[in-house]
Amino acid sequence: MVGGEFSLNMLDLRFDTNNKFYEAPVQMKAANGIFILDDFNCQKMSPREMLHRWIVPLERGTDFLALHTGMRFEIPFDQISIFCTNRSPSDLVDEAFLRRIRHKIKVPYLTEAEFKEVFRRVGAAEGIEFNESTLDYLSETSP
C-alpha cells in the first residue's frame, strides 16, 4: 500500500551500492496479492503521467525492470491493483486507460443510519455495548 508518498521511481529496482543488493519495487512486492494506491491524485506527478507507466503492465500482465548495469528483464505483473480516490475517474485519466481497468467500484458515503449500524456491529465484534448517545457525541465533536 502506498499513498501520497508514491513516486515513479518506486516502480524501479533500487540498487544499494554499499551492500550490493536490490530492493524490489512496490509492484513486485505485491506480486500475487493486492497493490493499493491510496489518495490517488495526491502524488507529486500527474495521474496521467503515473498511469502511463502502468498501461502496458496492466494490459499485458508483465512489466520490465532494469538492473543498474542497464540490462532489462521481464517480470510477471500479477496483482490486483486498487486505485482509491474521491474524484471522478474521468477527471483523472482518459477513456483509453479506464478501459484497461477491468473493475470500477463506486463506494458512496454512508447514510447516518448505515453509519450507526456499522458502528454498532464493530462495537459488538469488540465486545462493546452500543450506546447511541456516545455515537451522537462522537459525531458532533469529530472534525
What pLDDT sits at residue 23?
94
Q: For the segment 5-45, what is each residue's pLDDT rounded down to a tens digit?
A: 888 888 899 999 999 999 999 888 998 889 898 888 788 77
Q: For the segment 35-59, what is each residue's pLDDT rounded down to a tens digit?
A: 898 888 788 778 778 878 888 888 8
Q: So what CATH class is 8-100?
A: alpha beta
Angle at which helix 132-141 crosses helix 112-125, to 10 degrees, equals 120
What pLDDT sits at residue 17?
92
Domain ranges in the chain? 8-100, 112-141
Q: Is the pLDDT of residue 87 over 80?
A: yes
pTM above 0.75, yes or no: no
Q: What is the mean pLDDT of the chain?
A: 87
Q: How far apart are CA 46 and CA 6, in angstroms?
A: 11
DSSP-assigned beta bridge partners for residue 21: 16
Sign of the CA dihedral running 112, 117, 123, 126: negative
User: H/E/C letters for each residue in 37-77?
Assistant: ECCCCCCCCCHHHHHHHHHHHHHHCEEEEECCCCCEEEEEC
